[in-house]
Structure 1
């Protein structure tokens, strides 16, 4: 299976980086072809510009968008790994979606007024960390809102079946090394089962 990981965290020593390493190792151990697109290392420009819009409408995506769309098109399974900042996606990954999940590539409207989900047949997972303890996000409805926004609003809107959406709170301030190790074990087991 061709597995694409879109990763967004600005610090190499972050817990998200440990999550990325765990996912890659679990998938490679099962024989998957794994491609990691580390948006910060790539210097990915998250700004969806007027020029981008015009180029995409003309069917001539800019080179950086075209490269990412080729990875997306070839992927059977797409995993996003990123922290929650200010109860949402970091700008770099939101910009990735804005620029690459474009009209006519990821979705389009049909003559019946419905939506053609052009990523139908693909599966995906999302892994998020956040500093607020999970109990607080659960109690105020934020966990459900994040799953709705990213899982339904991005993935399922384009036809990607959400196989898993894992959110881990209290990272790193409220978690111990043992708890973080258990999180990585949980991730390893889950991704080994795909």
Structure 2
């Protein structure tokens, strides 16, 4: 399977980096064709600027050209795996900015055909999505506030993918209070999940 692996964390020796390494190893062991993008190390510019906003719908091809290698990778992929820390109940600004600049009209979706209609998904090539994240909050609190980060990907963005897309969410809660054993157990969980892809 062609898998696009996106990593987003500013610190190269973070636990997230260990998850990224684990994912790359597990996917390679299964023989997948993997393209890995490390948004911070690659120096991705996450800000959707004025000029891009002005051409966002009417001249989208200009915006696509500005991030063509990322668009090509997204359209090439059959599987998409995101690894990031949950901050303020959602993805870091870098990852959100990557989505805003790369998941463009004509790439990830087609603009809604009319009033009271939703956008139509254009990433039908994505047949597998896995979100891997850590969060400082306990699971019960995230459930109480309806887990915005998980809902973003597992519910809202799901409509962009193939209708039969397999979806999986892996999250380590209470990150600020985890033990070494907790973190090792979660790494093993991620490795086991990816070894079945």
**What TM-score do the two structures reach when normalised by structure 1?**
0.89
The ranges of structure 1 where at least 4 consecutive aligned residues each deviate by more than 6 angstroms after the TM superposition are none
Could you tell me which residue of structure 1 aligns to residue 145 of structure 2? 141
Structure 2 equivalent of residue 40 of structure 1: 40
Counterpart of 2:5 in structure 1 is: 5
1:9 alignment partner, SS class: coil
Deviations 1:64-117 (A, max 9, x none): 511100110101101111111111111100000111001111111465756431
Number of residues of Structure 1 aligned to a counterpart in Structure 2 = 190
Instruction: Report the Cα offset of residue 118 of structure 1.
Output: 0.8
Cross-structure match for 1:117: 121
Partner of 2:182: 179
CA contact (8 A) 1:55 1:62 kept: no
Q: Which runs of 5+ in 1 are unaligned?
A: none
Q: Which runs of 5+ in 2 are unaligned?
A: none
Identify the residue that residue 22 of structure 1 maps to in structure 2: 22
Distance 1:8 1:94 in 2: 10
Partner residue of 1:128 out of 127, 133, 137: 133
- The residue that corresponds to 2:53 in the other structure is 53
| In structure 1, distance between residues paired with 2:146 and 2:88 | 11
- RMSD over aligned Cα, in angstroms? 2.0
CA drift at 1:121? 3.8
